[in-house]
């Protein structure tokens, strides 16, 4: 059995997306900026895709700017708000400690440029408290940026409440919704969202394409200078096939959202029940306020990387959700942000389920994790110390 359980990293492209893209790669190859028929045909397709994407999140087409993905959208949103704030003498930005690095590293750069950055604590349940956002707002606050759903532990933030607070204080509100778009119902107007980032490859679209929603009236700063594409806010010939693929993927995801979420939620909860039977383990993040397909656990006395390699041998493709996998020895900043200590955070496992996950697959994952954890603990010196009482169990 081979089970892909790393859908938060990327997803398989849907047939709908592929079918929509092929004609754009071959026949409709005009440049949307060209005035003759072939160009205008591409332009029409491009604008139809923009309108379809806007409709899914309750936005207007002109409020959608295409980017190369979620990272670029995050960078552009934050840079834009920072620049607008600076002009008005506002140089304070509020965010959280468990954002994606596309947000955190942009903020770190702004800090060096003289901005004052407040990173709010995330509680043990993986949720940000709206009242703490409100308490952090100052006269000079230019931006609040809080992610919609966390990419490691899947917790869904109280975005509408935070949006309402920001609207009341006239502070721009951005949300990195890369893990939420296509998976959760979103209405940017009802939720008072001024800016939102999304990425196609997280909802069965192609890689290298995403979008930034920016409410009418928000001034965007260019990251890329050049031509007048995207109303002059993002230069470069539009990637029409990818954009059309993204629109098709999003439409399909929106149509199937409820059905997919029901399937995933059932298997997610089955996984949580099964993995909770492993002694000295703990679910990371709130059990209910989390993405339908996200499961994230810590197991004491083991090391996440070994767990992943042995699971891969058994055909289960998962992630530790931490920087370990990218060659760093630091544990996940997300797990540290919710209060896990270093040793415990090292033994983490993220399983992010596909749309058609079955009970049989879920049971196979549970058994595999149980076996591998027991095996690894069998020769772990850390585990030996815990069992012999030399060290104390935390979980
Ligand atoms: C994947 C991801 C990103 C980055 O998106 P790319 O399209 O890969 O650049 C940003 N934020 C979150 C929450 C993500 O999960």
171 within a domain of the structure (yes/no): yes
pLDDT per residue as tens digits for the range 352-370: 999 999 999 999 999 999 9
Summarize the confidence of residues 76-104 as an average pLDDT.
98
**For residue 212, how far is its CA from the centre of ligand 1 (angstroms)?**
12
Q: Is the pTM of this model over 0.95?
A: yes
Catalytic residue among 24, 166, 298, 324: 324
Q: Distance from the CA of 10 to the center of ligand 1, in angstroms?
A: 9
Q: Quote the CA–CA distance of 220 and 64 in Å, as a whole number.
A: 11
Could you tell me if 180 and 192 lie in one domain?
A: yes
Q: Is the sign of the CA dihedral 230, 220, 203, 313 positive or negative?
A: positive
Q: Contact at 8 Å (CB) between 308 and 325? A: yes
The answer to whether residue 317 scores a pLDDT higher than 70 is yes
Residue 341 is assigned to a structural domain of this protein? yes
Q: Is the CB of residue 395 less than 8 Å from the CB of residue 280? A: yes
Residue 145's contacts (CB-CB under 8 Å, 6 or more residues apart) are 77, 78, 81, 93, 94, 95, 99, 103, 107, 173, 174, 175, 176
What residue owns the CA closest to ligand 1's atom 6? 70
Q: Are residues 26 and 127 in the same domain?
A: yes
Q: Which atom of ligand 1 is nearest to the CA of 200?
A: 7
The answer to whether residues 79 and 225 belong to one domain is yes
Same domain, 224 and 271: no
- Domain of 261, CATH number, reads 3.90.1150.10
Atom of ligand 1 nearest to the CA of 9: 1
370 and 277 Cβ atoms separated by less than 8 Å: yes
What is the Å distance from ligand 1's center to 360 Cα? 30
101 and 174 within one domain: yes
In a shared domain, residues 219 and 311: no
Any domain includes 395: no
Half-sphere exposure of residue 5, counting CA atoms within 13 Å on the CB side?
34
Q: Dump pLDDT digits (tens) for 230-256.
A: 999 999 999 999 999 999 999 999 999
| Token pair listed for 277 | 């039977």
Q: Given a cut of 70, is residue 44 above it in pLDDT?
A: yes
393 is a domain residue: no
Q: 104: Cβ–Cβ under 8 A, 6 or more apart, which residues?
A: 95, 333
Positive/negative CA dihedral, 185, 187, 190, 194: positive
Report which of residues 326 and 218 the model is more confident about.
218
Residue 116: CB atoms within 10 Å: 15
Q: Which domain holds residue 367?
A: 3-9+257-388
Which residue's CA is the closest to the ligand 1 atom numbered 15? Answer: 151
Residue 284 has pLDDT above 80, yes or no: yes
Whether 83 shows a pLDDT value over 50: the answer reads yes
Closest CA to 96 of 148, 140, 165, 138: 148
Residue 99 sits in the same domain as residue 31: yes
Q: Do residue 242 and residue 308 come from a single domain? A: no
Question: Which of 95, 102, 105 has most ligand 1 atoms within 8 Å of CB, for mutation?
Answer: 102
Q: Which atom of ligand 1 lies at the shortest distance from residue 207's CA?
A: 7
Among the candidates 253, 287, 322, a domain finishes at: 253
Please name the residue whose Cα sits nearest to atom 12 of ligand 1. 178
Averaged over 56-61, what is the pLDDT? Answer: 98
List all residues 6 or more positions away from 25 whose beta carbon is below 8 Å from its beta carbon.
241
C-alpha 202 – ligand 1 centre gap (Å): 8
Question: Are residue 25 and residue 52 in the same domain, yes or no?
Answer: yes
How many residues in the chain? 395
Q: Which residues pair with 96 in a beta bridge?
A: 120
Parallel, antiparallel, or unpaired: how do β-strands 141-145 and 92-96 relate? parallel
pLDDT digits (tens, 9 = 90+) for 133-167: 999 999 999 999 999 999 999 999 999 999 999 99
* Number of domains present in the structure of the chain: 2
Active site residue 24: no
Q: Is the confidence at residue 97, as pLDDT, over 60? A: yes
Last residue of a domain, one of 237, 253, 269: 253
Residue percentage of the chain with pLDDT more than 70:
98
Instruction: Return the residue whose CA atom lies nearest to atom 10 of ligand 1.
Output: 70
* 234 and 269 belong to one structural domain: no
- Tell me what pLDDT residue 182 has: 98
Query: How far out from the chain centre does Cα 57 lie?
Result: 16
- Among 253, 284, 311, the domain boundary falls at 253
Spatial contact of 220 and 200, defined as CB atoms under 8 Å apart: no
* Centroid of ligand 1 to alpha carbon of 8 (angstroms): 9
Q: Which residues line ligand 1 (CB under 6 A)?
A: 69-71, 74, 100, 102, 147, 151, 176, 178-179, 199, 202, 210
The closest-lying atom of ligand 1 relative to the alpha carbon of residue 99 is 13
Q: Are residues 167 and 310 in the same domain?
A: no
Domain-embedded: residue 394: no
In terms of domains, do 110 and 171 share one?
yes
In a domain, residue 344? The reply is: yes
pLDDT for residue 321:
77
CATH code assigned at 77:
3.40.640.10
The answer to whether 4 touches 204, Cβ cutoff 8 Å, is: no
pLDDT of residue 324: 46
Q: Answer for the pair 202, 150: CB distance below 8 angstroms, yes or no.
A: no
Q: How far is the C-alpha of 44 from the C-alpha of 120, rounded, in Å?
A: 44
């Amino acid at each position: 059995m081979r089970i892909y359980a790393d859908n938060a990293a990327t997803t398989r492209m849907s047939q709908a997306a592929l079918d929509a893209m092929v004609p754009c790669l071959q026949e409709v190859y005009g440049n949307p900026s060209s005035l003759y028929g072939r160009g205008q045909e591409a332009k029409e397709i491009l604008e139809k895709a923009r309108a379809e994407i806007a409709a899914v999140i309750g936005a207007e087409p002109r409020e959608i700017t295409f980017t190369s993905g979620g990272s670029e959208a995050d960078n552009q949103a934050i840079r834009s708000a920072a620049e607008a704030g600076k002009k008005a003498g506002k140089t304070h930005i509020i965010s959280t400690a468990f954002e994606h690095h596309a947000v955190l590293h942009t903020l770190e750069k702004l800090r060096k440029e003289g901005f004052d950055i407040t990173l709010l604590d995330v509680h043990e349940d993986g949720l940000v408290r709206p009242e703490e956002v409100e308490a952090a707002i100052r006269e000079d606050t230019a931006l609040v940026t809080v992610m919609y759903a966390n990419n490691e532990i899947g917790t869904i933030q109280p975005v509408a409440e935070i949006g309402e607070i920001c609207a009341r204080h006239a502070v721009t509100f951005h949300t990195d919704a890369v893990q939420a778009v296509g998976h959760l119902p979103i209405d940017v107007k009802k939720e008072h969202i001024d800016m939102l980032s999304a990425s196609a490859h997280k909802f069965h679209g192609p890689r290298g394409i995403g979008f930034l929603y920016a409410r009418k009236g928000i001034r965007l700063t260019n990251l890329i200078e050049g031509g007048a594409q995207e109303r002059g806010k993002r230069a470069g010939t539009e990637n029409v096939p990818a954009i059309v693929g993204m629109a098709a993927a999003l439409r399909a995801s929106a149509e199937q959202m409820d059905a997919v979420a029901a399937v995933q939620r059932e298997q997610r909860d089955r996984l949580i029940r099964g993995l909770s039977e492993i002694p000295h383990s703990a679910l990371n993040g709130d059990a209910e306020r989390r993405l339908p397909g996200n499961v994230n656990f810590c197991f004491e006395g083991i090391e996440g990387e070994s767990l992943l390699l042995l699971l891969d041998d058994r055909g289960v493709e998962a992630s530790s959700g931490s920087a370990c996998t990218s060659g760093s020895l630091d544990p996940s900043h997300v797990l540290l942000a919710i209060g896990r200590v270093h040793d415990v955070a090292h033994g983490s496992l993220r399983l992010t389920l596909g749309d058609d996950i079955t009970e049989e697959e879920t049971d196979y994952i549970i058994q595999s994790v149980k076996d591998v954890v027991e095996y690894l603990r069998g020769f772990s010196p850390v585990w030996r110390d815990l069992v012999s009482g030399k060290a104390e169990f935390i979980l």
